[in-house]
Amino acid sequence: MKAPPGLHLKIAEWMFENGEAVSAYDISENFGITIKQSRAFMTVLEKDGAIKTQRGANVPTSTAYGYEIRTLKVTAIDREKLASRKKNPSYTNYKHHPVESISDLSHAEKWELIIRNARRRKR
């Protein structure tokens, strides 16, 4: 099940209006998405520059495994940043980085391209 676009903004608005730290289970219950999706949205909200968040206390679960549930609180939403994103959606398109065809390249040029763009693994 794919989440609709902009759902993280609706979740942020709901969390901001709620005023309390909420867990992934609360988000899942209120928005009809899976727990995995709601955890991913919490991560997106933490990394979004227009949304200020504060981690709440970890709530212990009643399971024998000792897991804790992370909670998150939205403290502020920069609506100007969000509005500028909607007006200028260039960060989501590929006009600045068009896909280039490699069919005209020779075998050696293709390998050179692969090696140039390869990243070293960190150990």
Least confident of 13-17, 18-22, 66-70, 108-112: 66-70
Q: Does domain 7-91 have CATH number 1.10.10.10?
A: yes
Biggest CA pair distance of the chain: 61
Query: Which amino acid, 92?
Result: T
Mean pLDDT across the chain: 80
Contact (CB, 8 A) for 11 and 47? no
* pLDDT recorded at residue 52: 92
Each as own residue / partner, the long-range contacts of residues 58-65 (CB below 8 Å, 24 or more positions apart, any chain) are 59/23
pLDDT tens digits for 6-61? 788 899 999 999 888 898 889 999 988 988 898 888 998 988 888 999 888 777 66
* pLDDT recorded at residue 7: 85
Is the entire prediction scored with pTM above 0.85?
A: no
Q: What DSSP line would sit under 76-114, residue for residue?
A: EE-HHHHHHHHH-GGGGSSSSSPPPP-TTS-HHHHHHHH
